[in-house]
């Protein structure tokens, strides 16, 4: 039977507001319209109503620009100047970790206070053959990885390099997906924590750029990529790109990690989480 109009428990207005804020910071006008049903509320009225509803709730904070956020999110987000980023790049046997593709090389490059350092880089034995077209693209052959450590043998080093840092990658769902899959396989642990995508940030901060592929963004910002399609070279280039993007974000008044994540989440339409080909990485 087709589902039509029906009644369902909706909870209190505060509960609905909290659910809304789980998706990110929200201004008073949006809360008034989407949560309270005040479709025609003025900004001034919306502000007064939001303060009356949420102002004394310890679970909620009104941040510096007037938007509302969950207190836990505000407390857990540092100023951008104080954040440390782990910029990650992985080379793999293919584009689908869910179908058994594995990591062949990884690099973790840190960005902190404007300084870029290589925290970890290594070839990885994927425990499966590398397809010839992938070997041609990455210049990583089966012979090169045969005697290298498996991910399980370096998992502790990887987790140490990521610990306490914001995970960043160019098309972050690709690199995060592979890293999370390998951590789950080798340690039976879920990889959790804040992450940022330089593709999404470039969309918002470089609106005049038609392509947000790594080569295009790097060329636009004057970043040189050495050893393309190798983990160290791509990760270092992404770290330099991130540094440029952070400077542009701060020029626009984006001063906290939460604000930057909110900016990165804004997009017009949903696109595939994975690249169509290895050339897009």
Residues labelled catalytic: 229
Count other Cβ atoms within 10 Å, centred on residue 150. Answer: 17
Contact yes or no for 90/175 (Cβ under 8 A): yes
Please name the residues in contact with 158: beta carbons below 8 A apart, sequence gap of 6 or more. 106, 108, 120, 151, 179, 183
Chain position carrying tokens 């782990």: 86
Separation of alpha carbons 130 and 142, rounded Å: 6
> Which long-range contacts does 234-237 make (Cβ < 8 Å, 24+ apart)?
234/89, 234/107, 234/170, 234/281, 235/87, 235/88, 235/89, 235/107, 235/108, 235/109, 235/118, 235/121, 236/107, 236/109, 236/116, 236/118
Which ranges constitute the DSSP H helices of the chain?
A: 13-21, 28-30, 43-54, 71-75, 132-138, 142-145, 151-162, 172-187, 198-205, 214-221, 231-251, 257-265
Q: Which residues pair with 260 in a beta bridge?
A: none
Count other Cβ atoms within 10 Å, centred on residue 213. Answer: 17
H or E, element range at 119: strand 115-123
Contact yes or no for 91/231 (Cβ under 8 A): yes
Count other Cβ atoms within 10 Å, centred on residue 166. Answer: 22
């Amino acid at each position: 039977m087709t589902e039509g109009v029906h009644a369902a428990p909706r909870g209190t207005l505060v509960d609905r507001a909290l659910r809304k804020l789980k998706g990110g910071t929200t201004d008073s006008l949006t809360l008034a319209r989407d949560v309270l049903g005040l479709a025609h509320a003025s900004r001034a009225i919306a502000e007064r109503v939001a303060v009356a509803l949420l102002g004394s709730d310890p679970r909620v904070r009104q941040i510096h620009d007037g938007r509302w956020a969950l207190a836990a999110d505000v407390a857990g987000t540092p100023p951008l100047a104080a954040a440390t980023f782990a910029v990650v790049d992985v080379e793999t046997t293919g584009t689908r970790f869910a179908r058994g593709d594995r990591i062949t090389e990884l690099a973790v490059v840190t960005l902190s206070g404007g300084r870029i350092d290589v925290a970890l880089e290594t070839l990885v034995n994927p425990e499966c053959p590398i397809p010839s077209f992938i070997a041609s693209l990455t210049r990583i052959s089966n012979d090169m990885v045969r005697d290298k450590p498996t991910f399980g043998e370096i998992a502790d080093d990887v987790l140490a390099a990521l610990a306490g840092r914001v995970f960043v990658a160019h098309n972050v769902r690709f690199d995060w997906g592979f890293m999370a899959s390998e951590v789950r396989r080798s340690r039976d642990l879920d990889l959790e924590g804040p992450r940022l995508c330089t593709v999404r940030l470039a969309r918002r901060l470089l609106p005049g750029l038609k392509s947000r592929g790594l080569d295009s963004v790097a060329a636009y910002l004057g970043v040189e990529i050495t050893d393309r399609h190798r983990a160290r070279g791509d990760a270092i280039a992404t770290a330099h790109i991130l540094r440029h993007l952070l400077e542009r974000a701060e020029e626009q008044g984006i001063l906290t990690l939460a604000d930057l994540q909110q900016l990165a989440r804004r997009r017009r339409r949903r696109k595939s989480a994975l690249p169509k080909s290895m050339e897009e990485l």
